[in-house]
A and B are shown apart, each in its own frame.
Chain A
Amino acid sequence: MTAFTTAIQHGAEHADEAAHGEQGVDVVHHLADSHVLELEPIGTFHLPQWELFGLDVSITKYTVYMWLAAALMLLIFLPMARRRGSVHTGVYNLFEALFVYVRDEIVYANIGREDGRPYVPFIATLFFFILFMNLLGLVPFGATATGNLAVTGVLALFSFGAIQASGIAANGPVKYARSLMPEGIPLVLAPVMIPIELIGHIAKPFALMVRLFANMTAGHVVILSLLGLIFIIHSYLVAPIAVAFSIFIYLLEILIAFIQAYIFATLTAVFIQLTRHPH
């Protein structure tokens, strides 16, 4: 959990009830993206603000932690791929077990052993990227990049792309497009059916986006709210209870970090299989 912020510093920005010179916990500030890295007591780092073709592409808190997740992935899996010999040790065993789990239980279980193999790299990347970002939110000073709609939205968009591409690759563009209008349904119903099918295609990644964002945000909100109770009630007596509960939620969040990565990857695999065999 990043340090409790002094609400007065951000009072003008958020205008919440804590902004009256008191110590407090600013939940929204904690969860929102920002241009500074607050690594108290080491210091506060202002991140560079860039612009590209008129687009604000500044490096933000979440960008940094997303890159950290990406760097961790490269640092773990690139050396793992270069290892020779069949006996792995230490951390490689852990990640190999996870990778085999993703391969067997997520991809092969849903798409099939032969058909699923080409999808293993994409879904493995998705799983580990989300898992690492989720877990980075649980280390001190860390931030959960997956607790941001922009991040989950882009990931869902990649999922959407993969799902549609797999549907087209498996059926051919014509047959796949025809699956929007299932056979045996009167043509009269086309104006109803086609929008419904299209909405179905869009709703799937939309649900992926919102689910991941909401789950990763919710845990943090609960923890911060529990800790915030101490400041709101103004009593040290409530602290043991609040801390105990927030530790419980924290442990739950470790579980949720894995579960949400699993759900995102599994649903992507399931949707891929669904579009490969429409109706």
Chain B
Amino acid sequence: MDLLQPEPGLIFWTAVTFALVLGILWKFAWNPILGALEAREEAIRKTIDDAERLQSEAKTLLEQHEAKLAEARAEGNRILDEARQAGDRLKTDVMDNARVEAEQVMARAHRQLELETDQALETIRNEAATLAVKAAEKVIQRSLTDDDHRRFAEQAVAEIARRGG
């Protein structure tokens, strides 16, 4: 058998074998395998798409939650600040009111005290004048006129007022 001489038998068998293998595998192997591969590729693509979609959804949710959390934290801080400020304001108000009231009470007391002191001095002054007049009257009743009495009394009162003043 020559190397370059094609044998008719081999041509025949090659044709038959190839045609049979082609036909059998076409129907029972290649098309089912192709279909299965495509189905699997589709499934994988779908799974990956789903995963990506879920991931992006999760990311959005996380971002939303973080935003909400930050918002809540800011809100809390704001409320706390407000409360602190209100407290401070209340404290200063109360203190101020108390101080004002105390001052008023003190002022009132001072005024009262002055008033009463003046009244007491007036009373004492009148009482002293009367007493002096009566005493002097007893001493110099006969020698002096009423005018003299009065002059002496007034002098005495002025004297007392000067000393006591």
CA distance in complex: A100, B25 (Å) = 16
Determine the chain B residues whose CB is within 8 A of the CB of A60 once the complex forms.
1, 7, 9-10
Contact among B8, B10, B24, B33 for A151, CB-based, below 8 A:
B10
Q: Is A183 interfacial (CB 8 A cutoff)?
A: no
Within 8 A of A (CB), among B12-37: 12-15, 17-22, 24-26, 28-34, 36-37
Q: Is A150 interfacial (CB 8 A cutoff)?
A: yes
Measured between C-beta atoms, what is the minimum distance from B5 to chain A in Å? 8
Q: Is B139 interfacial (CB 8 A cutoff)?
A: no
Determine the chain B residues whose CB is within 8 A of the CB of A150 once the complex forms.
6-8, 10-11, 14
Q: Is A80 interfacial (CB 8 A cutoff)?
A: yes
Contact (Cβ within 8 A) A55 B8: yes
Measured between C-beta atoms, what is the minimum distance from A47 to chain B in Å? 10
Q: Is B2 interfacial (CB 8 A cutoff)?
A: yes
Number of interface residues of B (CB under 8 A): 35
Number of interface residues of A (CB under 8 A): 49
Contact (Cβ within 8 A) A155 B33: no
Binding-face segment, A122-130, A172-180, A190-198, A229-237: A122-130
Determine the chain B residues whose CB is within 8 A of the CB of A62 once the complex forms.
10
Contact among B9, B25, B26, B36 for A55, CB-based, below 8 A:
B9
Q: Is A42 interfacial (CB 8 A cutoff)?
A: no
Measured between C-beta atoms, what is the minimum distance from B119 to chain A in Å? 115
Name the prevailing secondary structure of the A interface residues: helix
Q: Is B40 interfacial (CB 8 A cutoff)?
A: yes
Contact (Cβ within 8 A) B12 A33: no
* Given A56-B8, A56-B9: A81 in contact with B3 (beta carbons within 8 A): no
Contact among B7, B20, B32 for A56, CB-based, below 8 A:
B7
CA distance in complex: A83, B18 (Å) = 24
Residues 43-76 of B, flagged 1 when their CB comes within 8 A of A and 0 if not, give 1000000000000000000000000000000000
Contact (Cβ within 8 A) B14 A28: no
Contact (Cβ within 8 A) A154 B3: no
Binding-face segment, A65-73, A248-256, A258-266, A270-278: A65-73
Contact (Cβ within 8 A) A125 B21: yes
CA distance in complex: A73, B28 (Å) = 12
> Which residues of B come within 8 Å of A, CB atoms?
1-15, 17-22, 24-26, 28-34, 36-37, 40, 43
Can you report 22 A-B residue pairs in the complex whose CB atoms are below 8 A from each other?
A33-B7, A57-B12, A57-B13, A59-B9, A66-B14, A70-B20, A70-B21, A74-B25, A78-B25, A96-B37, A99-B37, A100-B37, A120-B30, A121-B26, A124-B30, A125-B22, A125-B25, A150-B8, A150-B14, A154-B18, A158-B15, A158-B18
